[in-house]
Amino acid sequence: MDAVEKSGNGHPGTAMSLAPAAYLLFNRVMRHDPTDPHWAGRDRFVLSCGHSSLTLYIQLYLSGYGLSLDDLQHLRQWDSLTPGHPEYGHTPGVEITTGPLGQGIGNAVGMAMAARRERGLFDPDADPGNSVFDHQVYALCSDGDIEEGVSHESSAIAGVQKLGNLTVIYDDNEISIEDDTRIAKNEDVGARYAAYGWDVRHVDWRKGDPAKGDYHEDVEALYKAIQAGHKVTDRPTFIVLKTIIGWPAPNKQNTGKIHGSALGADEVAATKKVLGWDPNESFAVAEDVLAHAREVSERGRAAHAEWQKAFDAWAKANAEGKKLFDRVEARKLPDNWFDAVPVFPADDKGIATRAASGKVLDALAPVLPELWGGSADLAESNNTTMKGEPSFIPSEYATKAFPGNEYGRTLHFGIREHGMGSILNGITVHGGTRPYGATFLVFSDYMRGAVRLSALMKLPVIYVWTHDSIGLGEDGPTHQPIETISALRAIVGLDVVRPADANETAWAWRGALEHTDRPTALALSRQNLPTIDRDKYASAEGTLKGGYILSDASGGQPSVILIGTGSEVQHCLAAQERLEAQGTPTRVVSMPCQEWFYEQDKAYQEEVLPRGVKARVTVEAGIRMSWDRILGDAGEPVSIEHYGASAPAKILFEQFGFTADNVVAKANAALAKVGAITGHKTGN
């Protein structure tokens, strides 16, 4: 109450009613060491209802994670450790950034999956519960989390995966911003989770008539429910905890008003009187209370020390496993790992970049055991199944097409892109492995919220998004992502890579894996693309610089520059031949990743795109929006500013102007703008 009052805004109600549950978890249930927030053997905690950030911050303060009363007094203020929603990498003890509702449930599912995969990778033969890699994942969630569709997607996956190491506590207080949730929600949430295959338990603190004071914060009942859930090892546990939001505020409890605004001085004072506290004191914490709470730190250090003994014994018996563990924890790649990646020979017929990506993954499987992933029900289309690798699935759910076991490597998210995104974030922050996930590029919109969060957290998630343009053809405009690439480039911190051929695809994977501080999106083609002759043209290694001179102008001094990505680079090369034959020195630049290009020093950027050459043509089968910086005032885009159509890819590219003829015409138009062509039609 005091923190929100001092800030002037915030979410006090849920933090008030969940304080006993949070204290129980941090002080009595979870295995954690406040002196080492990164201890690999710790249990994980996710506050999915991130608006109730004080629920977490106060426990971090009480447990001894380094937060002070002063930090709590600076809730939501500039440069504080207590921002409005918990932020990963900003506040010690915060496992993941939460705020957009429902994401945290998916994150917790991802953490639980990662814990099992990590165990399978490093210690598969240990008895259940006896591995140094065994730990629990806990999450607190609210009605808002439950209502968001992403929670359905990830919770359904958790049921299929039988994640017995996951416990979610649902704060069933029946209040949201618009007050009583019955205005928009009437399902039986517990029954819903039982239908997913979860172990569902109920704890009711609202027995009797709360209006008459019949409300009992029965912490022991919640503790017993959690412990009972631990005994159910083949299902995740979902505890429906019925609370009163804002208890025991005498006038604002159980109302929407206490959800997201300060109580006001009078109500704060009245609540303190109910609790038997001095209404004139703020941020008062008795020394003996704080000392008692911080005993958990001593217990945590002792548990950590015991775990370390077991870990050291494991390491001694598993030298290669320890070496791999250290490398993966440091997010390092093995020496010469890229030597395993195939080099694709020149081929006019070529190969689709999605298929080339699949071949790269097959080659990386034995080299990078930490790498795992799958797709949203599009394995054959996305080419994301490593050859011969079992699926990550309880053996009883394995299929003829996808045999597997609980420690497998191929992930199956079902048709759940949003859940896939939040799960990938959870896997990544958990550590111990490196994930990728795939779908059609157009459906990246379904997972945009999770992608934005991976960029915000600087997580090295790899997204494989195939069917990258109108080139997917007959499926028509609903599946043709004409605006999607530009929209993704607008996400700060996301690298969007659209390779021109198989070898650029291989180098794109290298760039994605070598970047450990950001997510990468690989936008790959459905249709075959010619494999560029690298004896004639520049090495595909230029992919790592985002943009490079693929074919230079005669004499090295271009009059016009053609800049292409993906399937359109081939048209730039064909147009260059014709323009050069006409006497126009023409440079072709392949620009698979704008973000990587703009990271290069100014000298390199100037070398590739000299400011003095203003006649430029950008060629990409999408809207022009993200190319204006490169086009300048005189540039001409070959783009599509309308939705596509259903027809074979070749017809669509011809009808919509993605041809060498149109690239030549646009080049002439750009040359005319800068006065290099006068006195005749440009053909534009």
CA torsion, points 75, 80, 84, 89, in degrees to nearest 10?
A: -140
591 DSSP 8-state letter: -
Q: In the chain, count of helices (H) and strands (E)?
A: 25, 22
First to last CA, the chain: 66
List the structure tokens of 683.
């053909």
Q: Of 129, 104, 139, which Cα lies nearest the Cα of 30?
A: 139
401: phi then psi, degrees, rounded to nearest 5: -75, -30
Q: Does 334 sit behind a cis peptide bond, omega within 30 degrees of 0 on the bond before it?
A: no
CA gap 582, 603 in Å, rounded: 30
β-pairing, 237-242 with 391-392? unpaired
Count CB neighbours of 359 within 10 A. 18
Structural tokens at position 491: 């996400």
**Element (H or E) spanning 362, and its range?**
helix 353-364
What sign does the CA torsion over 176, 180, 183, 184 have?
A: positive
Query: Residue written as tokens 């426990």?
Result: 59
417 catalytic per annotation = yes
- State the alpha helices, DSSP H only, in 135-278: 143-147, 149-161, 189-196, 219-231, 265-275
- Are β-strands 586-590 and 548-551 bridged in parallel, bridged antiparallel, or unpaired? antiparallel
Catalytic residue among 95, 267, 370, 417: 417
Rg of the chain over Cα atoms, rounded to whole angstroms, equals 28
Give the residue numbers marked as catalytic: 417
